[in-house]
Amino acid sequence: MKVLTGVSGMMRAALIRQRSALQQAILCALLVFVPSLLRLVIEPQPAVMPFLAFWPTVLIAALLLEQGFAMLAVFGSFAVAQWLFAGSIMGIAWHGRPLVSLLVGAACVVLVMGMAIVARTTVRELDALTRQQDTFNRELRHRSRNLLSIIQALSARGPRAENPLDFFREFSHRLDSLAKASDLLRIGTEAEGHLPELIERTIGPFGQGSRIRLSGTPCTVPEPSCIPLIMAVHELCTNAIKHGALSDPAGWVDLRWFLAPDGDRLYLLWKESGGPLVSPPAHQGTGSHLLRAQPGLEAVDLMFDPRGVWCEMLIVGARACTAAEAA
């Protein structure tokens, strides 16, 4: 059983692996040369079934090579088999029984290649889905820890209230707002995002009010950038509350954004002030992956200035809001 599992794992890895053009060309040549050599050793004379040794080539090529190289391996095998084991390349009979055999063989090749390509595509899609699920699970664990840290920070610093009932009401309101942040993360899968609304709804659950100062012209963020932007701002807010400017009652954050003159590039600048002295983190955690360049955020520059963290982000594909959108 262990042997079968190991072989299965090796086959799966071979199907998933992405190969360069040079690697595919070398493999294509081997898939033609090796069966030809074996056939010459076993049966050097013209054979009754000249293509028999080349059927594995069809299957392996379809499983491991991209379509162009796979077709090259198949046609190369056909040419070599016809030349070495069937007389000559030009000696094909285009009528009667030989023609029927040729058509049946071609149909079998198409069937085998089609099934192999479907199998390879399915394995790759399953692997991509598994990787995506692993990423989601890591992010879920990270966000859960962040939420607990935020709740602890909010409960430790307030809210300020005259009596326990007022405290309970205000704190419950903050927890309710924080819970809505998870719903906000689905915006990017549905539609474009609009600034400042997107950022206002992202920072709202943190209950910092005027301590996070927003400034910028109304604009639209492309759909692929919404989730990365939400997660990046959420991470910056979390870090600011736990360690940065928002951990000190005297601290504040300026968050500004503007469109470049070409109207396509959106720059956002997060700058913390008035908080404790800042030093770079001792290690890079899961949250650091949210604050780096990625699909949707073309550039992210994060600096740990002793006077306060600042972060600049670039989004390509943004545009100014129309009058109707801004209304």
Q: Does residue 163 sit in the same domain as residue 233? A: yes
Q: Does residue 301 sit in the same domain as residue 169? A: yes
Q: Does residue 164 sit in the same domain as residue 308? A: yes
| Chain-centroid distance, C-alpha 39 | 45
Q: Does residue 189 sit in the same domain as residue 297? A: yes
* Inter-residue contact 268 to 313 (CB < 8 Å): yes
Q: Looking at the domain assignment, is residue 153 inside a domain?
A: no
* Inter-residue contact 252 to 273 (CB < 8 Å): yes
Q: Does residue 182 sit in the same domain as residue 268? A: yes
Q: Looking at the domain assignment, is residue 289 inside a domain?
A: yes
Q: Does residue 88 sit in the same domain as residue 193? A: no
Q: Looking at the domain assignment, is residue 224 inside a domain?
A: yes
- Residues in the chain predicted with pLDDT less than 70, given as ranges, are 1-7, 43-53, 84-105, 139, 143, 146-147, 149-150, 153-162, 170, 173-192, 283-288, 323-327
Location of structure tokens 């993360």: 185
Question: Residue 177's domain is classified under what CATH number?
Answer: 3.30.565.10
Q: Does residue 122 sit in the same domain as residue 37? A: yes
Q: Does residue 203 sit in the same domain as residue 311? A: yes
CA neighbours closer than 13 Å in the CB half-sphere of residue 256: 5
Q: Does residue 114 sit in the same domain as residue 220? A: no
Looking at residue 99, what is its pLDDT?
A: 59
Q: How far apart are CA 242 and CA 152, in angstroms?
A: 9
Q: Does residue 170 sit in the same domain as residue 309? A: yes
Which residue range(s) make up the domain with 105?
A: 2-128
* Inter-residue contact 238 to 149 (CB < 8 Å): yes
Q: Does residue 167 sit in the same domain as residue 315? A: yes
Question: If DSSP codes are grouped into helix, strand and coil, which group holds residue 43?
Answer: coil
Domain boundary among 77, 111, 128: 128
Q: Does residue 177 sit in the same domain as residue 247? A: yes
* Inter-residue contact 236 to 311 (CB < 8 Å): yes
Q: Looking at the domain assignment, is residue 204 inside a domain?
A: yes
For residue 316 the two structure tokens come to: 């390509």
Sign of torsion, CA 118 120 123 127? negative
Q: Looking at the domain assignment, is residue 143 inside a domain?
A: no
Looking at residue 189, what is its pLDDT?
A: 44
Q: Looking at the domain assignment, is residue 62 inside a domain?
A: yes
Q: How far apart are CA 252 and CA 245, in angstroms?
A: 6
Closest CA to 147 of 235, 211, 248: 235
